[in-house]
Amino acid sequence: MTKVEKVDFTIKKLQELYPVIPVPLKHKDPFTLLIAVLLSAQSTDVRVNQITPRLFSKADNPFDMVKLSVAEIREIIKPVGLSPMKSKGIHGLSKILIEKYQGQVPKEMKLLEELPSVGHKTASVVVSQAFGIPAFPVDTHIHRLLYRWGFSNGKNVVQTEKDAKRLFPKELWNDLHLQIIWYGREYSPARGWSLDKDIITKTIGRKTVLTAYHKNKRP
């Protein structure tokens, strides 16, 4: 297969598996999505989805969020980890949204990245999922799979994002980012990986990955 053929195969397989794409983090608007994505850093979507209903029942907008103290926010979000940093970030960004943006979440990546505790990946998720602006956020699943599939060298997420944007059509970025995440979780995990189940890697995976896999599978 040529690289173009591999890309086409990957797109078609992902569309076949995920014609309707579930959104991993529960939210109702750009603000609640921003908070949920911030909370998901070094945590799981499942755990975040368990915590956000309690947080959002108290404050689902910046105006109510700043009425909570940092300590109150921290107490609610403790189970997701990194609660000291995340609680300060949530309170701080809520204050800035009120002061600079009338309580609205900005659509521009640059402005989002200026908010406390909001990095490039978080901003990318928000613009893509909340506003439909093409972006290609790279999480651990996407980073792992683009290396396994031979689409990126796997050195860092910055390079992986550049490679993904270069290879895949811009109009598909928002769907593909979610489709690859779901595929990674269901068919190509970091642990307990079965090549027989992972049809994309089995079909187009880089030789070094496939060789290493088969070596480890030997009795």
| Residue 75, token pair as written in the block | 């107490």
User: Looking at residue 219, what is its pLDDT?
Assistant: 44
User: Looking at residue 25, what is its pLDDT?
Assistant: 95
Interior/surface letters 42-76, b for 16+ CB within 10 angstroms, e for the rest: ebebeebbebbeebbeebbbbeebbebeeeebbeb
CA distance 82 to 89: 11
The CA-CA-CA angle for residues 179, 14, 123, to 5°, reads 25
- Tell me what the pLDDT averaged over the chain comes to: 95
pLDDT digits (tens, 9 = 90+) for 154-205: 789 999 999 999 999 999 999 999 999 999 999 999 999 999 999 999 999 9
Q: Do domains 3-20+137-217 and 30-131 have the same CATH topology?
A: no
> Measured between alpha carbons, how far is residue 106 from residues 56, 115, 117, 185 in Å?
20, 10, 15, 30
CA distance 144 to 184: 8
Is 119 a residue whose pLDDT tops 60? yes
User: Looking at residue 62, what is its pLDDT?
Assistant: 98
- Mean pLDDT score, 33-46: 95
121 catalytic, yes or no? yes
- Mean pLDDT score, 50-62: 98
Instruction: Give the N- to C-terminal CA distance of the chain in Å, as an integer.
Output: 31
Is 217 a residue whose pLDDT tops 80? no
Write the class of the CATH domain 30-131: mainly alpha
Is 218 a residue whose pLDDT tops 70? no
Closest C-alpha to 9, from 151, 143, 136: 151
CA distance 166 to 106: 26
CA distance 39 to 168: 28
User: Looking at residue 146, what is its pLDDT?
Assistant: 98
Domain ranges of the chain: 3-20+137-217, 30-131
Answer whether 25's CB lies under 8 Å from 40's CB: yes
Q: Could you say which of 6, 60, 121, 163 is catalytic? A: 121
- Mean pLDDT score, 103-122: 97
Closest C-alpha to 180, from 145, 132, 133: 145
Give pTM, 2 decimals.
0.91
Q: Which residue has the higher pLDDT, 23 or 97?
A: 97
CATH of domain 3-20+137-217: 1.10.1670.10
Q: Return the SS3 of 21.
A: coil
The CA-CA-CA angle for residues 39, 146, 43, to 5°, reads 15
Tracing tokens 């079909």 back to the chain, one arrives at 203
Q: Could you say which of 139, 162, 165, 175 is catalytic? A: 139
pLDDT digits (tens, 9 = 90+) for 123-157: 999 999 999 999 999 998 999 999 999 999 978 99
